[in-house]
Amino acid sequence: MSQKAVCRALPFVIAVLVCCQPWSSVARADVGDDSNTSREVIGWVVPNTTHPDMGVPYLLTDKAGSVYFYLRPSTDTQLSQFANKRVRVRGSEFNLENSRTPMLEVEQVGPPDVALRRQAAPKREVAAKRATAPQHMASATGNRKPQQSPAEEVVPASFSEKLASATEDAPGPIRNTFGEVGLTPTPMPDPEHQRADFLDQESDDCGDCGDESCEACCPPCGLPGQFWVRTEYLYWWTQGMNLPPLVTTGPSANQPGYIGSPGTVILFGDSRVNDFGRSGGRITAGMWLDACHEVGIQGDYFALASVSTNYSATSGGDPILSRPFFDTRPDLNAPNVEQVASPGSIAGTVAVNVPTQFQSAGVNLLVNLCCCNECFCDACLPGMNGPGGCRVDFMIGYRFYRLSDGVDITETLASLDPTAPGSFIVNDSFSSQTQFHGVEFGTSMQTFRGLWGFEAISRIAMGNNTEYVTINGSTQTTQNGVTTTDTGGLLAQTSNIGNYRRDQFAVVPQIGLNLLYQFTPGLRATLGYTFVYWSRVVRAGDQIDTDVNSTLLPNNPTPPTGDLRHPQFVFRDTDFWAQGISVGLEYRW
């Protein structure tokens, strides 16, 4: 390659090398203001394990993990013996260009409760050391003016005032290096060291959680934020409801759709309905009752959209439409039908509506059982920048469930016999509702790894099931312009019409699994699965008795005879489940 070509390519190569330097690594730092200030502060000496190649072996932090200073020992000061201990440090402070966190040139180190004697370092020597500050500590934030540490960090000048302020809680909260380009908050030492003083002895009692010093003595476990709200979109499936045969057709007027007869076709019923997916929503809100995030309260509510299975058929007589039942009349005791449409006899429409609705609400007390953060400080923000961690909480509280079903059947009939004109509206209505009130307890586990997290919730509720069933039936007859209404339809007669209630014991376990992704320290997304099992419910379709004594039907010329108990009502229980996926957002503050 010619010399001319090399000269042309050289600027391009240099630009690529500069641009390809990773922003996440620590860049070069230049000394800012040449002025220096003597500082005497109390804090924790923490090894700089996040960026050991920075040339700054130690940091000085508060108990919550916020960084006070970069520490660079002088030639006659050994900081290794003070690692993970609380000490009083004196040194010369100077600001680094492009860094929010100042450097402290350590001159003396001692116990936090003993004042240090002033040993003024020669200004010329300090200036020389400043000029050799680590060359790769700067970020891309631009030049900054020297920053004065907060008043709470600095011990007063007089000896007596130093002794008076040399308490464990003297250092106040300071600025946080979280968010500074190229710097990551440093993990706090093992929690056993957090309460030890310079001599590895127990320090002054920091008080019970909830007082003003609690945040310093017991850092919150898990994600930051005293309050949280989670909203989720649900797409769930529920166990369907069984229906008996409700509408049939047959090949002829002699075989109009009797159950079991040749040529009978069941048009609606004899199947399970409302087992398809439907949308819903869930909202969860809570708060910690103490600064340590050990005790909290949380409430939630979810509901699935009301769904309905509908059927309707109309005929002028052909094809045949019938409503089947088993006739318990003493002289028959065989399958029978009520005709909706038959050639030359009657025309009509039959419509069936079957709705279902499911919802739940609860409130729980949360008590932390276990905290396994790998980073015991707010600055580390587990789930965001921290290496990870987990927490396990016990929950106990109140749970409510409600499941509502219905089966409504309506016939609109018109006579085709000119000798017996008239019209009829026949209605059978069955509705059921199960309400659960009980005590719920369980556990919630959350684990974090970088931006990702996982949540597992297991709970079980035990309590009282209140079951309601309502049955109504009516027949409206219009002849010669006169309309009359009688009690009873076809499957709802005076023998089973009424309102019924009973209480039963029930158990409702629930399992929830969620994958979490952290967008910001306060906002994360959730993708989850939930399964709910209810041991005992009443469904409207199960309360239908298809055994009917036809002598009970309105407008029947035959007086009621035989067994008048049919149709009859008997509570029939079944189990119920609901399951599905969810997508949501959670915000913490």
Phi-psi region of 451 (alpha: psi -120 to 50; beta: other; left: phi over 0): alpha
**CB atoms < 10 A from the CB of 452, how many?**
14
Question: Phi/psi of residue 580, each to 5°?
Answer: 170, -175
Contact 556, 332 (CB under 8 A): no
pTM score = 0.62
pLDDT at res. 86: 80
pLDDT given at position 43: 80
Paired with 465 in beta bridges are 436, 504
Residue 463 near residue 437, CB atoms below 8 Å: yes
Which one-letter amino acid corresponds to residue 382? P
Encode 510-525 in three state secondary structure.
Answer: EEEEEEEEEEECCEEE
**Euclidean distance between CA atoms 248 and 321, whole angstroms:** 6
Contact in structure between 47 and 58 (CB atoms under 8 Å): yes
Rounded to 5°, angle at Cα 400 from 394 and 403? 135
Mind spelling out the 3-state secondary structure of 91-118?
Answer: EEEECECCCCCCEEEEEEEECCCCCCCC
Phi, psi (degrees; rounded to nearest 5) at 517: -135, 130
The answer to whether 473 and 425 have CB atoms below 8 angstroms apart is: no
Exposed e or buried b per residue across 405-444, where buried means at least 16 C-beta atoms within 10 angstroms of its C-beta: bbbbbbbbbbbbeeeeeebbbbbbbbbbbbbbebebebeb
DSSP state, residue 141: S
- Preceding peptide of 567 cis, ω within 30°: yes
Type of residue found at 580: G
Q: Does residue 468 sit in helix, strand or coil?
A: strand
CB 31 within 8 A of CB 131: yes
CB 424 within 8 A of CB 476: yes
Phi, psi of 43, deg, nearest 5: -175, -170
**Tens digit of each residue's pLDDT, the chain (589 residues):** 444 444 445 444 444 443 444 333 333 333 334 445 777 778 878 887 766 666 677 888 876 667 777 787 765 567 777 777 888 888 887 776 656 678 878 888 878 766 665 554 444 443 334 434 444 443 333 343 444 443 333 433 443 344 334 334 434 333 343 333 334 444 444 433 433 333 333 333 333 434 444 444 455 677 778 899 999 999 999 999 999 999 999 998 888 889 989 999 999 999 999 998 999 999 999 999 988 788 999 999 999 999 999 999 999 888 999 999 999 988 888 999 999 999 989 999 999 999 999 999 999 999 988 877 544 333 344 444 445 678 889 999 999 999 999 999 999 999 888 888 889 999 999 999 999 999 999 999 988 887 888 999 999 999 999 999 999 999 999 888 888 999 999 999 999 999 999 999 999 999 999 999 988 888 999 999 999 999 999 999 999 999 999 888 887 777 888 888 889 999 999 999 999 999 999 999 9
Residue 163: per-residue pLDDT? 35
How many other C-beta atoms are found inside a 10 Å radius of the C-beta of residue 285? 15
How many Å apart are CA 133 and CA 32, to the nearest integer? 10
Burial class (CB in 10 A: 0-12, 13-18, 19+), 524: buried
In order of 268, 297, 360, 403, 518, the CA distances from 434 in angstroms are 25, 27, 12, 5, 39
Strands (E), 289-388: 295-304, 307-315, 321-327, 334-341, 346-371
